[in-house]
Amino acid sequence: MNRKVMTGELERLAGQPFPLPEELQAGFMSTAMQKPDRPVKLACRQYWKLYGAAAQRKFRDAGELRELVDSGRAVGALQDVDLEIGEGEIFVVMGLSGSGKSTLLRCLARLIEPSFGEVLLDGRPLIGLPAAELMKVRRHEIGMVFQNFALLPHLSVVDNIALPLRIRHDDPASIRENVAEVIQLVGLSGMEARLPAQLSGGQQQRVGLARALAVKPGLLFLDEPFSALDPLIRRELQDELVRLQARLKKTMVFVTHDFSEAVRLGDRIAIMKDGRVRQIGAPEEIVTAPADDYVRNFAAGIDLTRVVSCARIATQPTRSEYAVKVPADRRIAEAAEEVARAGGPVGLVDSQGRLVGELDAAAILRLVSGGLYGGGEGAGR
Ligand SMILES: Nc1ncnc2c1ncn2[C@@H]1O[C@H](COP(=O)(O)OP(=O)(O)OP(=O)(O)O)[C@@H](O)[C@H]1O
Ligand SMILES: [Mg+2]
């Protein structure tokens, strides 16, 4: 894995209330821009999008764009973004309103033109592709789900889902088959003939999801798809997406401004601010090794036990045998009951069954009550 060690971060952690056993430290070597651990599906390099009259031209190098933004003559909605999104991962883009999330998603999906830079799908450049070719890519390889569902009000569930397939002239038999399959997949059976107005918000968004999946895209773009839903339904659809993903293994780019949603869904999360990416990492990395205060603030108030692994709050083993052993990479919430029942410290083991640390109930309580940094400045407030 292409990881650069941020030694400062490790030194800082070493002085904290949870000293990491040496064997575990390697797992926490972090970098502000973590690479995917699998083949790259979608990548962008030096990606820029400027808004404003001065930005309506071709640029020869990134320095020209930087100058326009720095001098206030253009809005830098995307500034020098480099990303690699792995095959089959849910890649979450997260940030405050106006940070550039939708702009990034639309530029990646080629719904809008970037001002500068390149984007590669399966290694193939999408910039400069003839319009007809690009259309083909968009219709066959990309699915989109939007916040406001974007359903046509006069079309039934079936016809809304079939629409993109009809537009690309699939044959009627394959359309019927495809639509029936995705309706079942997203749990809309029995509602085929209803109009959008006859569905709840959650059901409407299931239609939106089914319509995107019907295309059988390798790549799915979702821009705040659950933001308009109330919390319970939202949670239900998040679980549904995780369940679907386990089965379909699509590559997804998922935009949200809700950090708990990002943590629940993301294999990796990119945190954006002012058009730039501040950090890319797995949820646990973002929470335990935030690149700056902006990132750190998002983690405040979330349930750390669902994000942080046992390894992160482990201490050195004090014995050679433990009656109860738990995988070190298990989330604390999932191990807590076993630890409570053990009546003493449990051993933590790596994937080969080797003892790498020790965890007791007191450490879990300390995390819950004081956060990762012992109740002072940090993620657990
Ligand atoms: N068509 C446009 N013309 C001019 N400025 C724009 C345009 N679209 C977006 N912007 C600006 O670009 C920046 C990024 O906007 P974007 O919509 O990507 O943010 P966002 O992170 O998706 O926000 P939100 O969470 O509110 O959806 C903002 O400053 C916005 O005002
Ligand atoms: Mg947006």
Say if residues 38 and 71 touch (Cβ distance below 8 Å): no
83 and 189 share one domain: yes
Alpha helix positions (H), 99-130:
101-108
Whether 289 is in a domain gets the answer no
267 and 350 share one domain: no
122, 127, 133, 134: CA torsion to nearest 10: 90
**End of a domain among 251, 281, 311?**
281
- The residues, any chain, with a CB within 8 Å of residue 347's CB and separated by 6 or more, are 317, 321, 322, 324, 325, 326, 355, 357, 358
249 and 357 share one domain: no
How, if at all, do strands 124-125 and 116-121 pair?
antiparallel
129 and 226 share one domain: yes
CA dihedral (199, 201, 203, 205) positive or negative: positive
**End of a domain among 217, 248, 281?**
281
**End of a domain among 246, 281, 316?**
281
Whether 55 is in a domain gets the answer yes
Whether 376 is in a domain gets the answer no
70 and 24 share one domain: no
151, 152, 156, 157: CA torsion to nearest 10: -20
What's the Cα-to-Cα distance from 116 to each of 55, 60, 78, 87, 98, rounded to whole Å?
A: 10, 8, 10, 25, 20
* Interatomic CA distance for residues 324 and 321, integer angstroms: 9
* Interatomic CA distance for residues 308 and 279, integer angstroms: 18
pLDDT at residue 37, as a whole number: 87
84 and 227 share one domain: yes
184 and 204 share one domain: yes
Structure tokens belonging to residue 55: 């930005």
Residues near ligand 1 (Cβ within 6 A): 51, 75, 77, 95, 97-103, 257
Atom of ligand 1 nearest to the CA of 106: 18
pLDDT at residue 17, as a whole number: 44
112 and 197 share one domain: yes
Whether 298 is in a domain gets the answer no
pLDDT at residue 376, as a whole number: 43
148 and 245 share one domain: yes
- The residues, any chain, with a CB within 8 Å of residue 236's CB and separated by 6 or more, are 202
50 and 16 share one domain: no
Whether 294 is in a domain gets the answer no
Whether 286 is in a domain gets the answer no
Tell me the CATH number at 333.
3.90.1280.20
2, with CB counted inside 10 A (0-12, 13-18, 19+), is exposed
Whether 293 is in a domain gets the answer no
Tell me the CATH number at 126.
3.40.50.300
Looking at this protein, which amino acid is placed at residue 289?
A
State the residue range of the domain holding 316.
Answer: 7-31+303-370
Q: Residue 262 Cα, ligand 1 centroid: separation in angstroms?
A: 20
25 and 113 share one domain: no
CA dihedral (74, 223, 192, 171) positive or negative: positive
Structure tokens belonging to residue 339: 């630890």
Q: Residue 102 Cα, ligand 2 centroid: separation in angstroms?
A: 4
pLDDT at residue 13, as a whole number: 42
Q: What ligand is nearest to the CA atom of residue 78? A: 1
What is the enclosing helix (H) or strand (E) of 125? strand 124-125
Whether 25 is in a domain gets the answer yes
Half-sphere exposure of 19 (CA within 13 A, CB side): 6
227 and 246 share one domain: yes
How many CB atoms sit inside 10 A of residue 161's CB? 30
pLDDT at residue 24, as a whole number: 55
Atom of ligand 1 nearest to the CA of 224: 27
Half-sphere exposure of 16 (CA within 13 A, CB side): 28
Q: Give the chain's domain count.
A: 2
pTM: predicted TM-score of the whole model, two decimal places: 0.86
pLDDT 10s digits, 8-42: 444 444 344 455 555 555 455 456 888 888 899 99
Q: Residue 115 Cα, ligand 1 centroid: separation in angstroms?
A: 15
Mean pLDDT in consecutive groups of 10 residues from the start of the chain, 381 residues? 40 45 52 85 96 90 94 95 96 96 95 94 91 91 89 96 95 96 94 95 94 94 93 93 92 95 95 96 91 89 89 90 93 93 92 92 86 51 33
What is the enclosing helix (H) or strand (E) of 179? helix 172-185
